[in-house]
Structure 1
Amino acid sequence: MFGTRSELLEKIRLGEDGFLELKEVRFAGDKIRGPSQADLADEMAAFANSAGGVVMLGVEDRSREVVGIPLERLDAVETLVREACEQSIKPPLAPIIERMTLPDTGGSEQPVIRIDVSRSLFVHQSPCGYMQRVGSSKRPIPPDQLARLFQQRSQSRLIRFDETPVTKAAMADLDEILWKRFVPAQHHNAPETVLDKLAMAARDDQEVWRPTVAGLLMASHEPQRFLPGAFIQAVAYQGTHALPEAEKAYQRDAQDITGPLDQQILGACAFVRKNMRVAARKRAERGREDLPQFDLLAIFEAVTNAVAHRDYSMGGAKIRLRLFDDRLELYSPGMLPNTMTPESLPFRQAARNEALTSLLARCPIDDDTLSSHRQHIMDKRGEGVPIILEISERLSGRRPEYQLNDESELKLTIYSAQMESEL
């Protein structure tokens, strides 16, 4: 929307409408006096509940003049926007937030913030309730219309989220080398046709070909550009507790693991391999024997499950891997699908992301240690959870534990083996 600078300037010149909201950012000392977090949340939710739109911060709405935002205040304003999306809108929004400059009346370039809000698959509630965009203003959605909107958008989600086109992405954002991994050698169809069959591309509401969520996750080097939170945040701590952010000395290692999902899985295993301890012990019948803190096969299965089955519609929520001296914790965004419970995980299967699991099941394992287990990343036979539980319990003597936090995040705890000194 308003893809070029000239288009955006022309829209601002014409003023607010059903797709554009202009807001001056006012300050009182070091604090932002306006707009408020609640006001911003209402505007963004109204666009998401309608056809999408752009909020421009740093442009006065009546005069349509670019007044800008002080350069040193941009961080604070962006934080306000993110907190409005995450704290004041249910379910949370993940718009594209862009810093840019626009000319004021004198021709000087002034910093502003552009917020691109796409039409959502969900109906969003903000501090003023359920809002929609009507012309240049936001209005409450009438009850009968709200009921229809809930029905329409719930029906649209019958198409799984990982198969939906991503509005802000273009086909050029898919790396040809990465997506061709999944294409049979003998094919003569156009790229769009092939990618459509793989559920890696689809037409949007304007009949434009776009990468799908699954396509970006498997064939983009930076999926988090379009899907905030589509990465693994890994931290290795010294000791058994995570200390406050200021205590950086107690973080032995930290890494944001990005890239296509198969690379994220192997990257997480490499992080654990690098940071876990390995003890040595002597056995009369076997001689010297290495005792790893964790079994890498169990870690591989756990990370694969987290990446394949997490809820990617939760904008900004990421997979978190935490490594301590006595355990490993893995947090995966989303509640369990299809009435599953933590207790039923070893006995039942349910795939939230069918397209993703299908692609991962065709993706070779590029790791000599792990490829001896099986040839491809994903096993669709449902053996992952039993492997995690049995192998880890055999090593540590404690059975791993699954726990659902606030109906929105699945936590897996794998306990460490008891490290022995060499005898």
Structure 2
Amino acid sequence: MNIDEIKKIIKDGENSYIEFKEENIRAKELAEEIVAFSNSEGGIILIGVDDEGNIKGVSDDKIEETVMNICRSSCIPHIVPFCEIVEIEGKKIAVISVPKGQNKPYYTVDHKYYIRVGTTKRIASKEELLRLFEASGSLHFDISPVEGTSMKDLNLDIIRDYFMKYNTFDLFEESSESVERILVNADILKEVDGRKLCTVGGLLIFGKNPEKHLPQNGVSFAHFNGNEISDELIDKKIIIGRIQDVAEQLMVVLKNNMLVPSVIDGLKRKEKEEYPMLVIREAVVNSLVHRNYSISGSKIRVLMYNDRIEFRSPGRLPNTVTIEKMKIGVSYARNPFLVKYMENMRYIDQLGRGIPMILKKMKEAGAKEPLLMEQGEEFVLIIYKA
């Protein structure tokens, strides 16, 4: 990083990715800042600059060694930032570049998990900590128990049909104790302190009214007459229910909102699709199966414009997954329960094939390449009209 870049950072002040610290910062506090950045999106700590952006400098010639020792001894797992010393206005500044962590969650030696929020660090809440563990792959939210639920919240007829079709036995021929044991072994129920609670996935696939206990479930659909969210609203719907039913209903809504132009092929009139329906179905099911259900209060958003459809799913990509990896078929099952059951019910084919197929089909249709990106706390897939 050159001097002009650092001067600009200092001039712009602290933000979600920039923190100023004076040389007398305590080792414990510096460890907390580094952990917070690693648990978030990474960032830069300038040591030798006060909160107002005044350059104070550092006098310790071994500041880099000191920082690295703190990262090894006070951050778990160990964090390895990039440290460089830059001289500005005759004073030395330590520039500590902390990468986004690949082994989240990180914590300090006193077992506290910090995250970066705006210009400050704070101890992660229970929900935020849950998302950190989920992103690491050490916890899967879709098999977590949902408080206040019981087997009464499940549609046993649908569960029976599932087991009849895929496991070739009749659930209704079993005793009530045997049924409970089967549902626990299938991760549809989870035993907690002697109680049998529905799991998140159990409710989403087999629940009577999943949104009663999981208000984040479902899709918010909007169709605009234009290419901006401020344009005229043509249609708006909230689609709720079991995720397989949401997928089917959303497909109907999308198809009903599409124009169906036609071309003359010889003596016949042939309909021409705006979007390949195979691509749309894959995008719909992917958004439902792979979203982060631990983020409460936020539904999947599907926004339809004149030139594109946007699928906006709550939750950033898990630790090891990148956009480039997704494009070549590398994937990660955030919700392995949902993947397993939706795959058995033939809603999805094989983990990792969805995005490459979407890219291939849209290229064949002559459309602009679909855009994949993380935006805020959402993963966004944009499919452009063919």
TM-score category, normalised to shorter length: 0.5 to 0.7
Which amino acid letter does the alignment assign opposite residue 371 of structure 2? E
Matched residues in 1 for 2:383 and 2:151: separation? 40
In structure 1, the residue matched to 2:300 is: 319
Matched residues in 1 for 2:276 and 2:269: separation? 18
SS of equivalent to 1:276? coil
1:401-422 per-residue CA deviation (whole Å, 9 max, x = no partner) reads 101112x2111110112xxxxx
Residues 128/401 of structure 1: CA separation in 2 closer, same or farther (3 Å cut)? closer
Paired residue for 2:199, among 209, 212, 216? 212
1:157 shift after superposition = 7.9
SS of equivalent to 2:147? coil
In structure 1, the residue matched to 2:25 is: none
Which amino acid letter does the alignment assign opposite residue 332 of structure 2? A
Matched residues in 2 for 1:168 and 1:199: separation? 17
1:157-196 per-residue CA deviation (whole Å, 9 max, x = no partner) reads 8341111110121220111122223323325462211211
State, as a whole percentage, how many aligned pairs show the same letter. 26
Within a 5 Å distance, the mapping from 1:192-203 to structure 2 comes to 192-203=180-191
5+ long unaligned stretches in structure 2: 1-111
In structure 2, the residue matched to 1:22 is: none
SS of equivalent to 2:226? coil
Size of the alignment, in residue pairs? 259
Matched residues in 1 for 2:113 and 2:208: separation? 30
1:99-139 per-residue CA deviation (whole Å, 9 max, x = no partner) reads xxxxxxxxxxxxxxxxxxxxxxx98999996599xxxxxxx
Asked if 1 retains the 8 angstrom alpha-carbon contact of 2:260 and 2:271, the reply is yes
In structure 1, the residue matched to 2:179 is: 191
Which deviates more, 173-182 or 351-360?
173-182
Residues 224/391 of structure 1: CA separation in 2 closer, same or farther (3 Å cut)? same
1:231 shift after superposition = 0.5
SS of equivalent to 1:414? strand
In structure 2, the residue matched to 1:358 is: 340
In structure 1, the residue matched to 2:142 is: 162
Matched residues in 2 for 1:279 and 1:306: separation? 27
Residues 131/237 of structure 1: CA separation in 2 closer, same or farther (3 Å cut)? closer
In structure 1, the residue matched to 2:212 is: 225
Matched residues in 2 for 1:392 and 1:405: separation? 22
1:272-294 per-residue CA deviation (whole Å, 9 max, x = no partner) reads 1000111111234x742211211
Matched residues in 1 for 2:138 and 2:161: separation? 28
In structure 2, the residue matched to 1:291 is: 272
Q: Which runs of 4 or more aligned residues in structure 1 lie more than 4 Å from their structure 2 counterparts after TM superposition?
A: 122-132, 153-157
Asked if 2 retains the 8 angstrom alpha-carbon contact of 1:163 and 1:199, the reply is yes
1:396 shift after superposition = 4.3
Matched residues in 1 for 2:255 and 2:233: separation? 16
In structure 2, the residue matched to 1:276 is: 258
Residues 128/340 of structure 1: CA separation in 2 closer, same or farther (3 Å cut)? closer
5+ long unaligned stretches in structure 1: 1-121, 133-145, 245-249, 364-375, 418-423
Indicate yes or no: 2:309 matched with 1:328: yes
Residues 298/191 of structure 1: CA separation in 2 closer, same or farther (3 Å cut)? same
Which amino acid letter does the alignment assign opposite residue 379 of structure 2? L
Asked if 2 retains the 8 angstrom alpha-carbon contact of 1:338 and 1:350, the reply is no
Asked if 2 retains the 8 angstrom alpha-carbon contact of 1:319 and 1:333, the reply is yes
In structure 1, the residue matched to 2:322 is: 341
SS of equivalent to 1:233? strand
Asked if 2 retains the 8 angstrom alpha-carbon contact of 1:165 and 1:213, the reply is yes
Asked if 2 retains the 8 angstrom alpha-carbon contact of 1:309 and 1:351, the reply is yes
Matched residues in 2 for 1:237 and 1:405: separation? 21
Asked if 1 retains the 8 angstrom alpha-carbon contact of 2:133 and 2:139, the reply is no
Matched residues in 2 for 1:277 and 1:269: separation? 14
Query: Aligned-residue CA RMSD in angstroms?
Result: 2.9
Residues 177/275 of structure 1: CA separation in 2 closer, same or farther (3 Å cut)? same
